[in-house]
Amino acid sequence: MRLTANSLPSVQPSGPIAPMLNVQQAPEDRYQRFADLAPFVREAISTIAALSPAQRLDVEFLEREFIPALGLNDELLHEQPPELAPSFGKGLHLWQYPNQLAPYLAWLARNASGISSYMEIGCRWGGMFILVAEWLKHSGADLKTVIALDPIAPTPFIATYFELLQEQASIEPVYLQAYSTSPLVGAHVDRLKPDFVFIDGDHSLRGALQDHLLVRSHASIIVHHDIHSQACPDTTLLWKALKDSKHLASMRSNSPASIRPSTDRSSASAR
């Protein structure tokens, strides 16, 4: 029997959770703000569902209209393009550049068929997790399970989304409050066998590689975050090594950069 968020044993991380980076609010206030924004989750889901097949493939529309309307994160603003300021601190708080996320979403719309389970390693507030899960669902994937992993407790976004999924009773939500190195996580991965995984957890070389190896035997698509980032040299190096591996055939486009093993599919997204 699979464990859902409500029945999952809580695994507390053994180390300290990284503090908020440069947001001016204390963590408690930050949490309350996300609780106040939680009703937006339902609105975002409706917005995603309303897109036409043509809009899902229209990179310019996704970049300039759709993604900013969902709301962008307001941390580390010195890394963010100032022209996106009207979207900072709103909605789903997506921590992706629209000009990179848009081609990725269009790529997903063309490759969602056959995906039955989605896992995100490092879901944090949950905006990206919600977007991708709903995007897959409305792009031809036959989703049965979605798995969110993070050392922090489920946020208001995640809690609201999981409640909606449980009401619909068509997709099983699983939340793992743990580090990806936890034996419990390994056991869940072996049982749930996610076939599409987004890796945005530990950004050290060792940590990102461990996350890749954790899901490699099950996932047909693996997406790595920060594959070309001055702020994250380790994940950039790992992507280069994966891309150069003799076991993988590399195909490069503007974004995402894609790796296709001979027997499956794998992709990577940059920030």
The pLDDT of 143-151, averaged and rounded, is 95
Give yes or no for residue 209 having a pLDDT over 90. no
Q: Give the range among 74-83, 136-145, 189-198 with minimum mean pLDDT.
A: 74-83
The pLDDT of 97-126, averaged and rounded, is 93
pLDDT at 150: 93
Quick: pLDDT tens for 31-46: 888 888 889 999 999 9
Q: Does a structural domain hold residue 22?
A: no
Q: Does a structural domain hold residue 14?
A: no
Peptide bond into 256 cis (omega under 30): yes
Q: Does a structural domain hold residue 6?
A: no
Non-local (6+) Cβ contacts of 216 within 8 A are: 222
Give yes or no for residue 6 having a pLDDT over 50. no
Hunting for tokens 């962008």 — which residue is that? Answer: 72
Q: Does a structural domain hold residue 16?
A: no
Give yes or no for residue 161 having a pLDDT over 70. yes
Q: Does a structural domain hold residue 78?
A: yes
User: What whole-number distance in Å separates Cα of residue 227 and Cα of residue 80?
Assistant: 17
Hunting for tokens 């940590």 — which residue is that? Answer: 207
pLDDT at 19: 33
Backbone torsions φ then ψ of 40, nearest 5 degrees: -65, -20
Q: Does a structural domain hold residue 3?
A: no
pLDDT at 253: 36
The pLDDT of 168-174, averaged and rounded, is 93
pLDDT band at 252 (very low <50, low <70, confident <90, very high): very low
Please tell me which residue, 206 or 177, carries the higher pLDDT value. 177
pLDDT band at 78 (very low <50, low <70, confident <90, very high): low
pLDDT at 187: 95
pLDDT band at 83 (very low <50, low <70, confident <90, very high): confident
| Tokens matching residue 247 | 């076991």
Write the CATH number for 241.
3.40.50
Give yes or no for residue 268 having a pLDDT over 80. no
Whole-number average pLDDT of the chain: 79
Q: Are 171 and 145 in contact (CB under 8 A)?
A: yes
Q: Among residues 222, 220, 223, which one has the least CA distance to residue 264?
A: 220
Please tell me which residue, 245 or 109, carries the higher pLDDT value. 109
Give yes or no for residue 107 having a pLDDT over 70. yes
**Domain boundaries, position 241:** 27-268
Domain count of the fold of the chain: 1
Q: Among residues 163, 205, 182, which one has the least CA distance to residue 39?
A: 163
User: What whole-number distance in Å separates Cα of residue 258 and Cα of residue 267?
Assistant: 4
Q: Does a structural domain hold residue 12?
A: no
Give yes or no for residue 8 having a pLDDT over 80. no
Q: Does a structural domain hold residue 7?
A: no
